[in-house]
Amino acid sequence: MCRSIKTLRPPVIPEEATEEEIRAAALQYVRKVSGFRAPAAHNREVFDRAVEEITASTMRLLDGIEVRGAART
């Protein structure tokens, strides 16, 4: 989909992803799907809401993933 979105789970990255990294990935996703780098003023609210919702969903996903052979914290 979007090549600039990187994998955010261990062991691909050495530590847990930060909220900043997760939000950056969500922003890239919304930009790609919407086709806008920055939305017009009349689309700003829905654009920002999508970024926040995807950030939250991604955090839940990463919290719930169990990597076989890795200790869960």
Q: How confident is the model at residue 70 (pLDDT cuts 50, 70, 90)?
A: low
Q: Does residue 35 form part of some domain?
A: yes
Range of the domain at 39: 19-61
| Contact criterion met (CB below 8 Å) for 72 and 66 | yes
Token output for 34: 């919407």
Token output for 5: 């979105």
Encode pLDDT of 18-57 as tens digits. Answer: 999 999 999 999 999 999 999 999 999 999 999 999 999 9
Q: Does residue 71 form part of some domain?
A: no
| Contact criterion met (CB below 8 Å) for 49 and 56 | no
Q: How confident is the model at residue 2 (pLDDT cuts 50, 70, 90)?
A: low
Q: Does residue 14 form part of some domain?
A: no
Q: How many domains, in total, are found in the chain?
A: 1
pTM of the model: 0.82
Encode pLDDT of 56-67 as tens digits. Answer: 999 999 999 887
Q: Does residue 12 form part of some domain?
A: no
Q: Does residue 46 form part of some domain?
A: yes
**How many residues belong to the chain?**
73
